Amino acid sequence: MSFDRIDRQILSLLQADGRMTNVDLADQVGLTAPPCLRRVRALEEAGAIRGYHADLDASRLGFPITVFAMVSLRSQAEHDLAAFEHHIADIPEIRECHMLNGEIDFILKIVAADLKSFQEILTTHLTPAPNVASVKTSLTIRTAKALSGIPVVVD
């Protein structure tokens, strides 16, 4: 699907404020409400908009610890990669999982209530997982930038 200037404006505005009303959105992109809503629905159906969510403050909600874990597997066969992804899918503290090329197979973003909770995740879920060769972790000291979404270029 190709996106024109108005589609990109809609995407940019909704990415910045997913709670924006359709009337406000239409006003900002220069449309009336019905065609604007049709465009939003088309962007959703095309998969350009995957969903809407609230951006929660992890620390205020009891998860002040963020750790990045670099996981190396013994085998990179597709069924072993998929098995690892399936294994970590149901661990709620693992918020992101990215497969990488190079020495590290996966990088995980993990949140925890405290270091003891993180250690439990590490020792009960990650290091004993099938096919895991090593797990290296780095505790986040502070976050200087954390933007969700992507840069949307509007002509």
Considering the domain 56-137 in this protein, what is its CATH number?
Answer: 3.30.70.920
pLDDT in tens, 33-79: 999 999 999 999 999 999 999 999 999 999 999 999 999 999 999 99
Tokens of 130: 């099938």
Question: Which residues are bridge partners to 70 per DSSP?
Answer: 107, 136
Question: pLDDT tens digits, residue range 99-141?
Answer: 999 999 999 999 999 999 999 999 999 999 999 999 999 999 9
Answer whether 106's CB lies under 8 Å from 98's CB.
yes
Q: What is the CATH number of domain 3-44?
A: 1.10.10.10
Q: Is the pTM of this model over 0.95?
A: no
Q: For the chain, what is the total number of helices (H) and then of strands (E)?
A: 5, 4
Each domain of the chain, given as residue ranges in start order, spans 3-44, 56-137
